[in-house]
Amino acid sequence: MEYKVSYQYHLGRLLYSIATIYMGIQIFTSGHEFYSPYWHALRKTFNPKSTNRIDGYGFTFDDVNKYTTLTMGVLLIIGGILTLAN
């Protein structure tokens, strides 16, 4: 008797891809509100005397944190799509 794992493998890959895409969408849409205090605490841990504005660039650290969180969400979505397409 030969045991084939192709059905379970494809089902697992499909469920993993859907979960990864869903997590990426959640981080992209509402991740900034959730992760903003953690990014702020991380910045204050490494540089306690820093202000919120980045001098000379016109950005604030909140903007950088928001773009970083959006990038993480987009990378999760792309990873889920590529896993699904594989």
pLDDT for res 1: 62
* Residue 48: per-residue pLDDT: 85
- Domains identified in the chain, total number: 1
Which residues, given as ranges, of the chain have pLDDT below 50?
A: none
Measured distance CA(71)–CA(57) in Å, rounded: 20
Q: Which domain holds residue 55?
A: 28-85
Do the Cβ atoms of 23 and 79 come closer than 8 Å? Answer: no
The reply to whether 64 falls in a domain is: yes
Tell me, yes or no, whether 58 lies in a domain. Answer: yes
pLDDT value, residue 58 = 84
Structure confidence at residue 19 (pLDDT): 96
Answer yes or no: is 62 within a domain: yes
- Answer yes or no: is 14 within a domain: no
Considering the domain boundaries, does residue 15 fall inside one?
no
Residue 79 covered by a domain: yes
Would 22 be classed as within a structural domain? no
